[in-house]
Amino acid sequence: MGNALNKLGDGAATTPKKKIWNETLSTARFLGGVALLYLVFTSFVVVLFFVPSESMQPGLQVGDRFVVSKWSYGWSRHSIPFGLGQALPKTEGRLFFRSPKRGDVVVFIHPVNQKVMVKRVIGLPGDKVETRGGRLYLNGEAVARTFLGLVRYRDRFDQIQTAHRYSEKIDDDQRRSHRIYEFTDDFNFGSWSPDRAGPFIVADGHMFVMGDNRDNSDDSRSPTGPGQVPMENLIGKAEMVLFTLAKCAPVQGLDCPPSRLWRLM
């Protein structure tokens, strides 16, 4: 009788432990399933990025959270988030590849330092890209731009900047124009100038990218930039600004971008 009670007592004592273990396994399975679904979704459908610099002003401001579609150009190992694709063997090409268009805002992996970047596609394979006197030339023709006026704003280093704002169209058949900033048409960074660069002939399987803040962008023109970006380094196309966390204090005479929510690129 005593042995039977002891056995019942031992069984009762182990029941809470088994229950905790089962609940832990159940939670782990649930979290693992959620993580797997998130990984699949952000690898093949869309992912959210944020803007860390001013190189894409005025269209993208510091702090903007924007949606990137993964299906726009097909998929490669760079489509896998958190840099996990870097562990996979290096391969050329993309699955179900569709070429970006001139004027698209794209997110890609820097070919040299592996950082994530966002820029605008200016040139495609075979194009000749150059800047002369601050003007962008594509295949020997000056890209159309319209002066919209001066804008003064406080940058992220708390310095007042004055920029010339233009509306630009990369291609005649492009439905929408985009805005760019230029500080001057003769800007110099020591031994080179973003306003006098090239000509560059875009290689097969590559694209030439530039920032919309033309005098404040480390892009394909720059000796320290990504150069011509391989198509397989594409992550996706920037589609829309979802929201922004950045705020600026309104000051008379200074541009202060309003809160941005659900705005198409």
Task: Work out whether strand 141-142 and strand 135-138 pair parallel, antiparallel, or are unpaired.
Answer: antiparallel
d(CA 70, CA 64): 19
- DSSP letter (8 states) at residue 142: E
d(CA 72, CA 188): 36
d(CA 119, CA 209): 6
Which of helix, strand or coil describes residue 87? helix
Asked if residue 220 lies in contact with residue 209, where contact means CB atoms within 8 angstroms, the answer is yes
d(CA 181, CA 184): 9
Task: Work out whether strand 178-182 and strand 263-264 pair parallel, antiparallel, or are unpaired.
Answer: unpaired
Q: Please name the residues in contact with 110: beta carbons below 8 A apart, sequence gap of 6 or more.
A: 116, 117, 226, 233
By annotation, the residues acting in catalysis are 55, 119
